[in-house]
Structure 1
Amino acid sequence: MEQRERLLPVEDFETAWRVARLDEPLMPPKAGDLDRELRHLMDRLASELDAVSGSEQMLSPESIQEVQELYLHYERELRALESTLFQRVTSDEPLVESTTSELVHCEGFFTSTEENLRKMLDRLGVRKRRLAFHEAESRDLSRRVRTTREAAAHLQAFAVELVLPPALIQTLTTREKIDETYLEELKRFRNKLAFAGLADVQRTAAYQDLRPVLDQVQNRVIARLEAFLSSQISRLEEPNTNIQILQQNLLLKYRYFAEFLQDVAPGALENIHRAYVGRMSRVYLNLFRQYLDALMELREPDQNLGDMLIVPVMLTSSFAAVWHRLLPTAPSLRLSSMLAGAWTTTRKTSGSVVASGGGNSIGSGGLTSQASSAPSGLVSGTGLASGVGLVHRLKILEALSEPPLVVAVVRNESRSIPAERVFWSVGRMLLETCAAERSFCTEFFGAIESSMLEKIMQPARDQVTERFVQYAASATDLIGLLLCLRIVQAQRAQAHERELSCLETYFTRAELATIPRVKEVLDANEQSLVEADPRMLYETALSSVGSEPDSEMELARRVHPVVQRYADLAQALLAMAVRAPSSDAMMLKSLHMFQREMHRVLHGMAERFQSAQNRNAFLINQLGTIVERLNQVADSIPSDSTPVSGAGRDTLHDMLDELRPRLETCMNQLAELALMNHFREFLTLRRGPTHTSGGHDPHLAEHWRLVLAEFRTDWKIQLEQLSKAVIRSFPNWEIGSVVLKRAFQELRRYNSGLHRVLPWESSTELRALLVDDAALVFEMRRFVKMETDLEPDQAQ
């Protein structure tokens, strides 16, 4: 507590205390000294108290408390003084009598002083009550001042929040350019409207006065914003407009306008919604129509609708219209005309013998198109993919997430594109457009209903759907149909992952259009094989090579066009069947049916050959072509963790397991026949009579000597003739080399085993006529790669 001035200074007590000090001898005071000093002290006290009580200044409770404590202090001091004086006086008898009268006087003085102090305390109590009253009034006054100031601040804020400055009104209603400044002023106006919408504000008289102005400005702003947004949306329909750039760089700058309209005028925003939906639906419809038309112009031409694996030549032109609806898979000529022009001379290429029939070649690399003008990686003239082209077409399944095709780029490359790539690109464009449009609408309009995106994309989606259905209804490319089906299924999964439900109609209708069409094409090809007449196929093919010196041998060495088409089809179907996630059971069933009927057709045609050698050569050429294609599919199955369809892989292995033994049997039979044609007498030595013990047959020994001598003389010439004959029977060098190698191995095995059956009487002479195995191997290596050592079972 701060130090305050005392009412009675301490020095006024020195006189009283001087009398009571023990360190000084008690001297009899002079007459009237004590009385004078005490009176002076009391008068001083009274004057001070009177001065205090008469003051009009406000005393705090602390000051009043201090006065009360001072009074008690004086009283204690005086009582102590009285006691001290009494003790000193009583101790000094000479002084007792002289001071008795003084003490009596002091007692009266103390009594009067006590009375004065009591009165002073009463005055101080009154003063205290007055101070409490003034304190209450002061607090009330402070509260009133504070309330007044708060009310003034609220009134000022109310005026600032509610009143529209003229500059704000002018900017919102008359400013020509809508820019960032206008946007900031609109935000201020929106805040004022939000403040005016409070229930407490609307009960004020000021709001009632300002309400007409607010409504008028609000209506003008709404109309202006609606017109501005409509004009910006109309720019989306201008030619050569990049929609996404315009949306992101222009419209999104003013998405606050849509928020403003959503708060103050939902009806106006609904008008903007309708205008945007109508314009964008037209824009996307035109864009997708143009995009589809441009890609369709670059698409591979349609195939002849009258072709299947086999088309009966006796069909009349009127009945052929029925077959047109069966939608075949492959080449572009009927069988009769196809066979007439498909058999030309062969030519040797690096590592293979090529049959140029149908514009295709067979080699270690598989079927390749010989048309130099055909773009690499596209479909061949047969409508099915070539070996290289098929791989390229199947790569579309690994590139489903790549960007869509750019028409200008494809045109500059001067290439055609298959149908599956057209509809993959269009489907990819649909996915990306829907995702981008939903993102923009959500960002610009806020949370949107799925029906809004549905209305925007419906015309374009329906246009794409109708074009796809039209394609599927007239498609002749089975591979294209199957690839389109896989693409649709993959894109549907992507749409589900991105929650683009508006495209479900497209995917559903595309599947419904493709699956029955695929089955119809598969059934038509299957039926063509079931109804095929092997005799007719053989005679027709034979007539097409009738000018050749040995037409049957020439026919045997050629790959039949039906087999060529079947190999193409089987390779393509299996290449897709082994790809995960699933295989089409309908397609796998058709593959088994195709193979069964193809075996029937092949063996039926082979039975028409007069020569067993030509019969086996024909079967080897046909089966070898098919096995080679299936081996290419098996080699393409990845060995890493890439998903592979178990059903498709099992079907591939089943088909190979069925074909390989048949091919092995035919190769072994042909190798034996070829050897018999060139080394008949030599090979029949072991089959004729032998005499290894007892008796001597000079005729038998002479026969052996003549045969072995003849073999030793012309075996090299016969090997060369055998090699030419075998190789000439096969357009595929690999197949011919395998047959030739087996014939050579059989000859070596036979020659190595002769020493065990030589007639014992002439064994030494005859053994000298045998040809050494090393010499055979050396000569055979001129024609085919041979191992030096025979396998154990061959050497026996």
Structure 2
Amino acid sequence: MIVSESDSSEDVDSSIKAQLEDEVIREALTSGMDLRQYSQSVEKELRQLENLSIQDYIGKAQNIATLHHQITECDSILENMQGMLEGFLTHLSTISQEIQSLQEQSASINVQLTNRKQVHIEMSTFIDQLMVPEIMIQHILNTPVTDSLFMQQLKALNQKSKFIKEQNFRDAHSCQDVQDIVDKLTVKAVTKIREYLLQKIYQFRKPLSNYQIPQNAMIKHKFFFEFLLLHARTVAAEIHDEYVETMSRVYSSYFQSYTKQLWKLQYEEGVTRDDLMGVEDSRANSFFTKSLKSRGTVFTLGTRDSVLSPTGLIQDIIVPHTAGKGETKYAFEVLFRSQQYALMDNGCREYIFLTEFFMVHDADAMKLFMTVMGKTLQHVQKEVCGVVMGCYDSIALYLCVHLIHQYRLLCHKRAVPALDNHWEQLLHMIWPRFEYVVKMNIQSIQACDPSKMATLDMRPHYITRRYAEFSGAVMVLHEKFPLEGVDGLMLQLQDEVEKVILKMAAVFHNRKDQLIFLINNYDMMLSVLSRKLFLL
């Protein structure tokens, strides 16, 4: 490689600069000493230091030899330890393989143990379910069916019977040893249950018996019928048919007798077709004098709506025998409430009993309920229809319509839909009759001829008072429970009353007398309606 002179001179300069930066050279230059002399002095010092170092090394030779020997021994020891550790590592590898093998054996043994425990549990359960203990035999044979121990062992017997049937389906021959014992115990249990249930059913047939007591006893032991369904369907059908036939006769007989005696307690001075809003006082004088002492006027509500109060709806039913002794008489709606409350209360209780004891629901429950209560409902509806068709008491009919709606709501609160059709049938009887009677009153007002009235003065007319009382009564009841169709009837009645009032006012020739007559009549109507509104 060819280097130029300029590059060479630059390298020399940089080398000189580097040497000048050395502290020793800088000190020599600054001291003014001769460099040759300074160089000799430095060499002399170096030789002295070298001699001292050699002497020191010779003095430490023994220690260095000892250190070398110790290092050699340590190296030998470490080599031996390395061999031991390598052997230990090899041994650990062997132990790890043994541990892994032991773990595999342990897992296998654990699986075997789990399987054996499971088999033990299943075998124990199987044997327990197959085994018929002596205490079960004793209680099924000797303990009364009403005892809780009998019920406990009966449920256990039911479980064993189900289990044996399942095992027989799987062709398990081990069940044959206990099959005969279980069958005999089942037959014995069925016999005792049949006797007990028939005895309770026959108690319903006793005159004046409180059939709620045997019903409650049967509900308490409702598992008996479930047991019969599973093991003796023929006996279950016998119990079912016997109960249905017995209760159907009991209810039918009771309500026929009760209804017959109940209607005898109605007011003798009943409202007739002549007791209408447009009939003159003179033609209905006997009615409005004699009847006011016992039941108020035809068109006045008074306290008759007490049957719709929360306590009035569920008040105890009327006992005809007791009421007959005191010669107490009642309005139509009071007797109707007593009859329908008795029917509703018994019907709800019967429906709940049938669903719980015979384990039926929905359509099956409705069908069974109608089998038990069908004749009774038909008889009650027929009796009500006969009385309603001869009733001209519009307020009583309207109260009965409200009673039907209230009792239907009460049935729904008790989760009993079985009487819905009964309430509909009653509404189809009573509501058209109510419309018919109201329209008769409207027609009676239309037929009024003020010119033929015997007495007509400026005081409020009896038609106005009757309308005000009747309108107020309907308004009070309508506010509590609005019914469709009432507003239309009342508007027709109001229109006819306004027309007849204007006709009666026209009889007076003096305009002042006409206005006084109108003011007195409208004031009376407003006063009556205001009092009714105040009571709401």
**Aligning the two structures, in what range does the TM-score lie when normalised by the shorter sequence?**
0.5 to 0.7
Q: Give the structure 2 partner of residue 462 of structure 1.
A: 378
Q: How far, CA to CA, are the matches of 2:245 and 2:139 in structure 1?
A: 32
Q: How far, CA to CA, are the matches of 1:470 and 1:267 in structure 2?
A: 43
Report the secondary structure of 1:416's partner residue.
coil
Report the secondary structure of 2:453's partner residue.
helix
Higher RCO (C-alpha under 8 Å, 6+ residues apart): 2
Contact 1:461–1:506 (8 Å) recurs in 2: yes
Q: Give the structure 1 partner of residue 498 of structure 2.
A: 596
Is residue 286 from structure 1 mapped to residue 183 from structure 2 by the alignment? no
- Structure-2 change in CA distance of 1:621 and 1:245 (3 Å): farther
Q: Give the structure 2 partner of residue 229 of structure 1.
A: 197
Task: Map 1:271-670; keep pairs closer than 5 Å.
Answer: 271-301=238-268, 303=270, 305-309=272-276, 337-338=283-284, 358-359=288-289, 369=292, 371=293, 374=294, 379-380=295-296, 382-385=297-300, 390-399=301-310, 402-408=313-319, 415-448=328-361, 449-538=365-454, 541=455, 556=457, 565-582=466-483, 584-603=486-505, 606=508, 616=513, 624=520, 627-638=523-534
Q: How far, CA to CA, are the matches of 1:214 and 1:242 in structure 2?
A: 38
Report the secondary structure of 2:439's partner residue.
helix
Contact 1:575–1:633 (8 Å) recurs in 2: no
1:222 maps to amino acid: V
Deviation at 1:447, TM superposition (A): 4.7
More helix by proportion, 1 or 2?
Answer: 2
Identity of aligned residues (%): 20
Gaps spanning 5+ residues in structure 2: where?
Answer: 1-79, 85-97
Aligned residues: 439
Deviation at 1:488, TM superposition (A): 1.9
Contact 1:236–1:246 (8 Å) recurs in 2: yes
Deviation at 1:211, TM superposition (A): 2.6
Q: How far, CA to CA, are the matches of 1:521 and 1:394 in structure 2?
A: 19
1:384 maps to amino acid: F
Is residue 219 from structure 1 mapped to residue 187 from structure 2 by the alignment? yes
Is residue 257 from structure 1 mapped to residue 224 from structure 2 by the alignment? yes
1:279 maps to amino acid: T
Report the secondary structure of 2:444's partner residue.
helix
Q: How far, CA to CA, are the matches of 1:524 and 1:144 in structure 2?
A: 95
Deviation at 1:525, TM superposition (A): 2.1
Q: How far, CA to CA, are the matches of 1:415 and 1:176 in structure 2?
A: 49
For each residue in 1:597-647, what CA deviation from the matched residue of structure 2 results, as whole angstroms up to 9, or x when unmatched?
A: 43155236546xxxx69x939x857863664254222233259xx7xxxxx
Contact 1:196–1:207 (8 Å) recurs in 2: yes
TM-score (norm 1): 0.47
Deviation at 1:477, TM superposition (A): 0.5
1:405 maps to amino acid: D
- Structure-2 change in CA distance of 1:271 and 1:620 (3 Å): farther
Gaps spanning 5+ residues in structure 1: where?
Answer: 1-75, 81-128, 312-329, 343-357, 361-367, 542-554, 643-796
Bigger Rg over Cα = 1
Report the secondary structure of 2:299's partner residue.
coil
Task: Map 1:668-683; keep pairs closer than 5 Å.
Answer: none
Q: How far, CA to CA, are the matches of 1:623 and 1:471 in structure 2?
A: 41
- Structure-2 change in CA distance of 1:298 and 1:147 (3 Å): same
Deviation at 1:595, TM superposition (A): 0.9
Deviation at 1:279, TM superposition (A): 2.3
Report the secondary structure of 2:149's partner residue.
helix
Contact 1:310–1:532 (8 Å) recurs in 2: no
CA RMSD of aligned residues (A): 4.6
Report the secondary structure of 1:273's partner residue.
helix
1:594 maps to amino acid: E
1:635 maps to amino acid: R
Contact 1:383–1:477 (8 Å) recurs in 2: yes
Is residue 243 from structure 1 mapped to residue 211 from structure 2 by the alignment? yes
Q: Give the structure 2 partner of residue 777 of structure 1.
A: none
Q: How far, CA to CA, are the matches of 1:493 and 1:245 in structure 2?
A: 27
Contact 2:388–2:430 (8 Å) recurs in 1: yes
TM-score (norm 2): 0.67
Deviation at 1:307, TM superposition (A): 0.5
For each residue in 1:329-352, what CA deviation from the matched residue of structure 2 results, as whole angstroms up to 9, or x when unmatched?
A: x9xxx865546x89xxxxxxxxxx
Q: How far, CA to CA, are the matches of 1:234 and 1:602 in structure 2?
A: 70
Deviation at 1:473, TM superposition (A): 0.7
1:439 maps to amino acid: I
1:247 maps to amino acid: Q
Q: How far, CA to CA, are the matches of 2:178 and 2:235 in structure 1?
A: 23
Deviation at 1:302, TM superposition (A): 5.1
Q: How far, CA to CA, are the matches of 1:530 and 1:149 in structure 2?
A: 97
